[in-house]
Amino acid sequence: MSQPLIEVEGLKKYFNLGRGNILKAVNGIDFSINEGETLGVVGESGCGKSTAGRTILRLYEPTAGSVRFNGTDIYKLSPSKMKAMRRDMQMIFQDPYASLNPRFTVTDIIGEALDIHNMAGSRKERKKRVEELLDLVGLNPDHATRYPHEFSGGQRQRIGIARALAVNPKFIICDEPISALDVSIQAQVVNLLQDLQKRLGLTYLFIAHDLSMVKHISDRVAVMYMGRVVELAPSEELYANPLHAYTKTLLSAIPVPDPEIEANKKHILLNDEAAGPIHSKDGAPSQDLFNLDNSQLVEVSKGHWVAM
Amino acid sequence: MALHNELIPQADAAQLSPEDFRKIGANEKQSEVIQRESLSAWRDSWERLLQNKLAVTAMIVMLIIIIMSIIGPMISNFDYQTNDLMNTNKAPNSVHWFGTDDLGRDMFVRTWMGARISLTVGLAAALIDLMIGVIYGGIMGYFGGRVDEIMNKFAEILYSVPYLLVTILLLVVFEPSMGTIILALTITGWINMSWIVRGEIIQLKNREYVLASRSMGAGSGRLLFRHLLPNAMGPIIVTLTLSVPNAIFSEAFLSYLGLGVQEPIASLGSMINASMSAWNLYPWRMLFPAILISLTMLAFNIFGDGLRDALDPKLKK
Amino acid sequence: MEPILEVKDLHVSFSVRGGEVKAVRGVNFTVGRGETIAIVGESGSGKSVTAQTIMRLIPSPPSMIKQGEIIFNGQNLLAKSNKDMEAVRGKDIGMIFQDPMTSLNPTIKVGKQITEGLIKHQNLSAADAKKRGVEMLKLVGIKNAEARFNQYPHEFSGGMRQRVMIAIALSCQPALLIADEPTTALDVTIQAQIISVMKDMQQRFGTSIIMITHDLGVVAGMADRVMVMYAGEVVETGTSMEIFKNPQHPYTRGLLRSLPRIDQRKDEPLVPIIGTPPDLIKPPIGCPFAARCDHAMSVCEKIDPAATHLSDTHMSRCWLLHPMAQEVTTS
């Protein structure tokens, strides 16, 4: 098989919370993503999935580990090489309200990346490219001079997508791109992302807490819990045959929009007094429900990894 | 299945024709059209400000005071320093609109000259505070960590020195003049502004749009000047507006103590000081400068409050 | 069955610059004793405004109740004075909110926040109120209730805080509980727990629940009846089974279709509802959903359809249900 586009190895990101408390937000994760593939990452708030995404893009400096893009370790790049690398790796953010600068027009938001990388020769060229991008994500180019607060959530998320696409990236991290959107709009955005992937040959890391949506869009899914990957498998396989206790809990908790199924469902309930991944100075986790500190990922069947 | 429609007033079922039930399908373009008119955040704030009658009145008063302090002395036939010992302590009349002082100088001219000095000191001090405060606070907030810690400590130490003490020391070392007063006011005055800027920047720098810009490879300059400072502008402008009356009052206070501008130059504070002894006999000598200084402070404060509401509507609720 | 709450022709607007946003435009519904009704809709559909109007919690201005009645236990809540409403809130109607992080007062001990209502509404002594409060905490599944009673909100996790909110809302055993997106801010595993607590408490006290949510999965697991709102109007109501198994309004169908199902294959695209909801500063004169509806007919753009009753419980407002529409499509 060809070399994966993205290889994440032993990635750790700790935050020092002061007073000797360390938040081990990402505590050693490994995975790779092939070109054109979508890897889904699911987990609940505080499991480290968003921190992982931001660290992979080097928006945070890692505590340990490496991320290779086409074989190049991005953490070893000089600032100028890193800047060039950013053209290949982009991000779509969760909050369509907070992720667009309220004082910029749509043209300036999308055109900013073009300015940073000197990709538009003239104002006219820049305008043309912005209009192209708006058209690509299904927005009306006449609205290019408007401000973000005038758009609905779904429209804003399209602006965010157009911004990410402006530099022709190969790899995009989608950080909960639909969780702030209304149900009827979510499908629009997911379809757009899938459509763009086909047309532009994009590779996605799709972070979300909505398991049914992740299953729909991903080729493979990684389940994260307390800073670690507890299970990684092709999406059909993961849903049909979940092995880790946490994955099972998570799957049983998804409400299904069908009153008959819901009436007969048995939930596996998790003790919610378990605290998050905050470790005291001596490194002891506050509570390790699944004994993750002493387990590692094992391949139990082809492509199906589980922590044990 | 029993179907029955409730009658609706607009249309009787009988008026409908099969043509009305021709399928037209969805109209995506129309549902995506934005109905409201386009408004930038600045325009939006400006219009909100104009709706606040009190703030608009304050703004007009401010403008009148500023204009009069520029042209006031020119529209009179007198100047501020020529003594006229034949006409001392005259009550307001058709020649001397605000009366005269103990040396027969025209109070109208002196009052507006005083306002000119007070406003100049106030605006200059506020602008210098702004420049130092934004740069210092911007660096603290943006770089954070050790840089922030050390710079913040320095600001705290400076802030803890009583400003009156600093001022008096300065005025002993240098000649009392407008420049010295401005220096005295700004030596600690910028700290408040820098803390406001620092707080805003710290809050803004983790916003997703800042991260987005970083993920595209934006450098510090672009982040600071294109994203962070423009979005921190609201609180900065409000602080600026509210620091003008502060400086004016401080100047009046120092002048009142005799530490301000020296005779024959007038400032509102020194005029009030000079008129104190004659308050019972010649009240107008104190009345006009006192009214003007009160009006100036009131107008700037009300306008500043109005600006705050207009720039950040959330606070008003 | 005697309804406990009856909302009649409710219209609520907000004044904004440049006009008036008509957030709720003629909403009618009833809630029976011990029943759970879910109000489903997307942001801006008017579902939260409706709920907050029942509690009279939306500030006025900018909101204006243009017309309508809210009859609760035979009394019109909209005619009550603010003082009288205070006696209703918490005692007869309880409410829980979306964000458990901000709906508890961080400076007051949890126990005190529970007993406050008991002392005010039921004239209990401090000791009795504490006993009831601890009991309530136990009922919502908080272990070590006696110790927890004296802790501050920040010592509780998000899910635990929402349990406390439920305990507070139900402490006076109100006849009606309004839950405004009670699980939206929570993780799925915690959501499942909160729903089971709510169901459990409902059985114990016979409380009627109005559940406001955008999550159809939660609705399917909880509601007896469902009311679908769009652009300030109720477009369809029915029992859970009617709404999920036999939806009649194209918007309801669209919502259900746009959700990915666990058994769906990846290459099968989702069927989204195209477009964006209308801006209610200028609501369309016809059916508000017409511009996004695949089945729109020319009448839909001209006249807002009236209610069509398909059964005693099932109502939909759509021109497709008009006899003439069926003639045209079949011919």
Q: B3 vs C297: CB contact, 8 Å cut-off?
A: no
pLDDT confidence of residue B104 = 78
The CATH fold assigned to B120-271 is: MetI-like fold (1.10.3720)
Two tokens, residue A164: 């990410």
Tens of pLDDT along B15-51?
777 777 777 777 766 666 666 666 777 787 888 888 8
C159 → chain A, closest CA residue: A272
Distance from CA of B189 to the nearest CA of A (A): 29
Bridge partner residues of A207 (DSSP): A41, A175
Q: What is the mean pLDDT of residues C139-146?
A: 83
By mean pLDDT, which of A137-146, A247-256, C27-36, C174-183 is the weakest?
A247-256
Q: Which of C279, C298, C307 sits opposite B35 (nearest CB)?
A: C279
Q: Which residues of A touch C154 (CB under 8 A)?
A: none
* Interfacial B residues in 76-105 facing A (CB < 8 Å): none
- Cβ-Cβ pairs closer than 8 A, A with C, add up to 132
Q: Which residues contact B26 (CB under 8 A, 6 or more apart)?
A: C274, C275, C291, C292, C293, C294, C296
* Interfacial C residues in 114-143 facing A (CB < 8 Å): 143
Q: Which residues contact C129 (CB under 8 A, 6 or more apart)?
A: C115, C118, C119, C122
**Which helix (H) or strand (E) segment is B197 a member of?**
helix B178-204
Q: Which residues of A touch C273 (CB under 8 A)?
A: 184-185, 187-188
Chains interfacing with B (3 or more CB pairs < 8 Å)? A, C
Delimit the domains of chain C by residue range: 3-107+152-330
Q: B213 vs A59: CB contact, 8 Å cut-off?
A: no
A156 → chain C, closest CA residue: C276
Q: Which residues of B touch A155 (CB under 8 A)?
A: 32
State the pLDDT confidence band at A285, using cuts at 50, 70 and 90. very low
Q: Which residues of C touch B317 (CB under 8 A)?
A: 59
Q: Which of A184, A239, A256 sits opposite C42 (nearest CB)?
A: A184
Q: Which residue in this structure is represented by tokens 């006076």? A: C172
Q: A261 vs C220: CB contact, 8 Å cut-off?
A: yes
Percent of chain C with pLDDT over 90: 23
Distance from CA of B243 to the nearest CA of A (A): 25
The CATH fold assigned to C3-107+152-330 is: Rossmann fold (3.40.50)
Delimit the domains of chain A by residue range: 6-88+169-307
pLDDT confidence of residue A255 = 82
Q: B16 vs C304: CB contact, 8 Å cut-off?
A: no
Q: B39 vs A147: CB contact, 8 Å cut-off?
A: yes
Distance from CA of A255 to the nearest CA of C (A): 4
Q: Does A156 touch chain B (CB under 8 A)?
A: no
Q: Which residues of C touch A39 (CB under 8 A)?
A: none
Quick check: B251 and B269 in contact, CB under 8 A?
Answer: yes
Q: What is the mean pLDDT of residues C17-28?
A: 86
Q: Is C210 left (phi over 0), alpha (psi -120 to 50) or beta?
A: beta
Delimit the domains of chain B by residue range: 120-271
A25, with CB counted inside 10 A (0-12, 13-18, 19+), is: buried
Q: Which residues of C touch B41 (CB under 8 A)?
A: none
Question: How far apart are alpha carbons C85 and C94 in whole angstroms?
Answer: 12
* Interfacial A residues in 226-285 facing B (CB < 8 Å): none
Tell me which of A58 and C197 has the higher pLDDT.
Answer: A58
Does domain A6-88+169-307 fall under CATH 3.40.50.300? My reply is yes
B8 → chain C, closest CA residue: C306
Which of C32, C24, C46 has its CA nearest to residue C176? Answer: C32
Distance from CA of C310 to the nearest CA of A (A): 20
Distance from CA of A251 to the nearest CA of C (A): 9
Top residue of C258, C271, C273 to mutate, by most chain A CBs within 10 Å, is C258
State the pLDDT confidence band at C267, using cuts at 50, 70 and 90. low
Distance from CA of B151 to the nearest CA of C (A): 32
pLDDT confidence of residue B25 = 74
Which of C225, C244, C229 has its CA nearest to residue C30? Answer: C225
Q: Which of A82, A93, A146 sits opposite B34 (nearest CB)?
A: A146
Q: Which residue in this structure is represented by tokens 């059916």? A: C287
pLDDT in tens, chain B (317 residues): 344 444 444 444 457 777 777 777 777 666 666 666 667 777 878 888 888 899 999 999 999 999 998 888 888 777 777 777 787 777 788 777 787 877 778 888 888 888 888 899 889 999 999 999 999 999 999 998 889 999 999 999 998 888 778 878 887 788 777 888 888 888 888 999 999 999 999 999 888 899 999 998 888 889 988 899 988 888 898 899 888 888 888 888 888 777 777 777 888 888 888 888 778 888 888 888 889 989 999 999 999 888 888 887 554 33
Question: How far apart are alpha carbons C258 and A213 in whole angstroms?
Answer: 10
Q: Which of A184, A216, A255 sits opposite C260 (nearest CB)?
A: A216
State the pLDDT confidence band at A9, using cuts at 50, 70 and 90. very high
